[in-house]
A and B are shown apart, each in its own frame.
Chain A
Amino acid sequence: MLWLTIVFIVLPICGWMFFLAVAGTHPEHGTGWAATPLNTFLILLLNLLLSAAYIMSYPPIQAGCPSLKIILAVNNSRAEGMTEDDIHRIFSEDILVSERLEDLVNDGLIFVKRDSTGDDLVSLKNETIVLSRQGYVIAHLFASYRRILNLPFGKG
C-alpha cells in the first residue's frame, strides 16, 4: 500500500512540480491553456482521486477477498448450490488470518515478538503481536471513525 501511494500520488505530484519548474506557467501555444495554480489543483485532485480509487480497490485484488471467493464458488456450483460446510471448506483453516498477519508485518504495521520463556518454542506458537507506531495510528484512525459514526467496531 505504501508503494502504491508513492507510485500513484507522490511521484505524479513531484513530476508535475518538476514540469512546472522547467516549463513555467506559460499558455500552451494555440490553446489558451496555462498551468495556473487553479488548473494545477484541479488536475492533481483528479489524479489523487483516481489513484485513491485504484489503491482502495487493490486490497481485495492482493488478498483475494473471501466474500467474492464465496460468490464465485457458489456460482460454479450452478443450480445445485453449496451447503454452509461446503463454503467453509473453500478456505483452509488458518490461511484467512495468517496471510493477513504477514501483510501487516510486511507493511510495518505490526511486528511479531517471539517469547523466549515460552514452552512451545518449536511450533513458534508463543509469539506476541506488537503494534508499531504506524499500526497504532491506523488502528486509532479506524476506531475513531467508527466512534464518529456511532457504530461498533467492524467484525472483520
Chain B
Amino acid sequence: MQTEPSLYFALMTIPALLIPFSMHLFFLRVCCLFREPELRQKGVFFSVLCGLIPMAALSYLWAAKIESHTTAGIIVSVLYLFLVYILAGYVYFHFFNMSETARRVRLLIESSKTGTLKKNDLPHLYPHRDIVSIRIERLTALGELRLSDDRYVLGNKALLLPAKLIFALRYILFPHADS
C-alpha cells in the first residue's frame, strides 16, 4: 500500500524552485560576490551548488517529521525533491545566461530604451566585432580558451562535449541550417 504525498511535501517543492534564485541574489547583493562580468556565469553555477545545502536540510527536516512513510518512500520522495531542485537550477542558469549573453534579449532591451530603433544604427549600437570579442573574453575568463603566443587554444574543455551535443541536435532538427 503506497502512502499519499502530504500537502507539506507538496509545499516543499516551492523552496526547491526558489532556492537557486535566492542563493544567487544572496551572493550578488549581500556578499557582493560574482559581480565581475567574467565571474557572473560561475556565480550562478556556484549558487545552484550551494543551494543543495538548504535543500538537504529541508529534506532532512521533512524526513524526520513524517512517520507514516517507509524508508523506500522517503528515498523516492527526497530524490523527487532533488530532481525538482536540479531542474529548477538548470532552468534558472539558462534564464540568467539569456539575460547576460542572448543577442535577442540585447536587441529587445536596446529597442525598449527608446521604443524604436533605426536599423541603420544597429552596427554602431551592437557592432559585429564586439559580439565576437565579448564571447572570446568570456570563454577565456571561464578557462575554455587559453591564449598561447597570440593564438587561442582550448583550455579546460568543459564546454566541448555540450558544444558537440548542441550542434549534433542542431544537425538533427535543422539539417539544412549552416553549421
A50→B86 CA distance, assembly (Å): 10
The answer on a CB contact under 8 Å between A81 and B131 is: no
- Is A49 a contact partner of B111 (Cβ separation < 8 A)? no
Listed residue (A34, A65, A143) with the most chain B CB atoms within 10 angstroms of its CB: A65
Cα(A151)–Cα(B163), bound, Å: 27
Residue of B104, B132, B157 near A104 (CB, 8 A) is B104
A142→B98 contact, CB < 8 A: yes
**Stretch of B51-59, B64-72, B116-124 on the interface side:** B116-124
* A 43-77 to B, binary, CB cutoff 8 A, 1 in contact else 0: 00110011011001101111111111111101101
Bound complex: CA A125 to CA B120 (Å): 6
Residues of chain B within 8 A of A140, CB atoms compared: 112
Number of A-B contacts (CB under 8 A): 236
Contact, CB under 8 Å: B145 / A74: yes
What's the tally of chain B residues with a CB closer than 8 Å to chain A? Answer: 81
Can you spell out 11 A-B residue pairs with CB atoms less than 8 angstroms apart? Answer: A68-B163, A72-B167, A74-B153, A81-B148, A81-B153, A104-B104, A109-B104, A131-B116, A142-B98, A151-B35, A156-B102
Binding site for B on A (CB under 8 A): 31-34, 36, 38-39, 41-42, 45-46, 49-50, 52-53, 56-57, 59-72, 74-75, 77, 79-84, 87-88, 90-91, 93-94, 96-97, 100-101, 103-104, 109-110, 112-113, 125-131, 135-136, 138-140, 142-143, 145-146, 148-151, 153-156
Residue ranges of B at the interface with A (Cβ–Cβ < 8 Å) = 1-2, 4-7, 9-10, 13, 24-25, 28-29, 35, 37, 40, 80, 83-84, 87-88, 90-91, 94-95, 98-109, 111-112, 115-120, 122, 126, 128-136, 138-139, 144-145, 148, 150-154, 157, 159-160, 162-164, 166-167, 169-170, 173-174, 177-179
